[in-house]
Chains A and B, each alone.
Chain A
Amino acid sequence: MSTATADQIEEVKVPKKEREPLFSKKNRELITDPLDDSNPITVQVLGICSALAVTTQVKPAFVMSICVIFVCAFANLIISLLRNGIPSRIRMIVQLVVIATLVTLVAEFLKAYQYSLSKELSVYIGLIITNCIVMGRLEAFAMANKPWPSLLDGIGNGIGYGAILIFVAVFREFLGSGSLFGFQIIPDWMYGIGYANNGIMLTPAAAMFLIGVFIWWQRARNQKLVDIS
């Protein structure tokens, strides 16, 4: 009998639990964690695909990051709201439909208001659908958590992704074309005395090197991320 009463006490306790404040420590960590310890690109290895091609300049990288933050946050929110109604057999298709709808919205919006940018990003906006970050976070987080933490998780991972994108893009644009955001940084007289842009920075391979070096730096600083195998 004593166990039964213990169970009853347990049950009574649960609803009494205080409501979590909107920005509790746990919720704040959902945003800050993906910036470093569980960065989607360098630790979870998600979403490298569409990231590297848009980082030759800072501006498309910036736009791409905003698009991914938007899609990731709202896909997480929507799937989290629907999570109890989705049969697990067809969950992939449901997730893809939600993501594809959001990406279509973004693509049409860019086409309407930023036509030249949308031409520049070409297929990579469409490829946000297959960006593993969105799908990966839906599977790993949104399917098992409440809407508000899921929204934060989406925003956090989007920002973690964007941070790497902009880090890579700054190096590539500065070293590869001597400019930032399209404004020339290296003055003309530098070119006059023999400075030359580093052409290899414009190739996608340079992005791989930069991320490789970034991973090196991050893991040297944060030993618990080191891969033993």
Chain B
Amino acid sequence: MLEALNIFIQSAFIENMVLAYFLGMCSFLAVSKTVKTAFGLGLAVIFVLAMTTPINWAIKNFFLNEGALAWINPAWADVDLNFLGLIIYIAVIASFVQLVEMIVERFFPALYTSLGIFLPLITVNCSILGGTLFMITKEYNFWQSIPYGLGSGFGFFLAIVALAAIREKLRYSAVPAPLRGLGIAFIITGLMGIAFMSFMGIKIS
């Protein structure tokens, strides 16, 4: 339990997808103009990351790894399908995003219209595929992959809501004209990244 909490904290704060690895930047910068839409997108990302990370773990370990297919037929013990990994992970992610899109459209039509194109674009949000790929390089087991997915999603949620709040206030400050909009958003993100570095070294064990 403590280990799960540790992974959650680590993935949400210390190794924050957005502010430490700078993944998922496109939607992070594009949807962070108001807190409300940022909030909705953040929740959608939490859901997709929390679901796809454990599912992709199961797919990798039961189908793709060398020898993983032995449980179906012992004759396939030397089949290694790892090269198919990227295509299959992205297919899983795409189908979950489709699911989220349908749920949001059905139950939260206002949010659906305000997110617009960025809801389907969660598919190509790098932090989602990044969650799966980092989970593989870190060699987590199934129970570790669940808090990892949840934590990464929560980290994205936190970061995008924080940036949206800052940008809402920023409208009242005198930023040099060429720096307005995108430029200042980049610099703020950099500063937030430095602030998040102060979480480094926190460990619950």
Contact = CB atoms under 8 A, between A and B. Distances in A.
A211 B120 CA distance: 27
Contact of A53 (B21, B30, B129): B21
A153 B21 CA distance: 29
A165 B180 CA distance: 22
A129 B197 contact: no
A226 B178 contact: yes
B135 to A, nearest CB: 10
Interface string B120-149: 110111111110011001000000000000
Interface stretch (A1-9, A20-28, A100-108, A171-179): A100-108
Contacts of A213: 183, 187
A212 B190 contact: yes
Contacts of B120: 92
Interface of B: 20-26, 29-30, 83, 86-87, 90-91, 94, 120-121, 123-130, 133-134, 137, 176-184, 186-187, 189-191, 193-194, 197
A130 B125 contact: yes
A167 B86 CA distance: 29
A219 B187 CA distance: 15
Contact of B182 (A45, A108, A129): A45
B182 A205 contact: no
A35 to B, nearest CB: 18
14 contacts: A46-B26, A49-B24, A49-B127, A50-B23, A123-B134, A127-B130, A130-B90, A132-B26, A200-B194, A205-B197, A212-B179, A212-B186, A219-B178, A220-B178
Contacts of A52: 22, 25
Contact of B83 (A108, A122, A219): A108
Contacts, number: 138
A208 B133 contact: no
A87 to B, nearest CB: 15
A122 B126 contact: no
Contacts of A229: 180-181
A47 interface: yes
Residue of A93, A205, A207, A217 contacting most chain B CB atoms (<10 Å) = A205
A186 interface: no
Contacts of A150: none
Nearest to A225: B178
A161 to B, nearest CB: 13
B25 A123 contact: no
Interface in A75-103: 92-93, 96-97, 100-101, 103
Interface residues of A, number: 50
B124 A219 contact: no
A219 B22 contact: no
Contacts of B180: 226-229
A40 B20 CA distance: 22
Nearest to A50: B126
A186 B109 CA distance: 58
B81 to A, nearest CB: 12
Interface string A187-229: 0000000000000100111111101110111111001001111
A50 B22 CA distance: 8
A143 interface: no
A204 B22 contact: yes
Contacts of A226: 177-178, 180
A220 to B, nearest CB: 4
A135 interface: yes
Given A93-B91, A131-B126, A216-B183, A45 B30 contact: yes
A163 interface: no
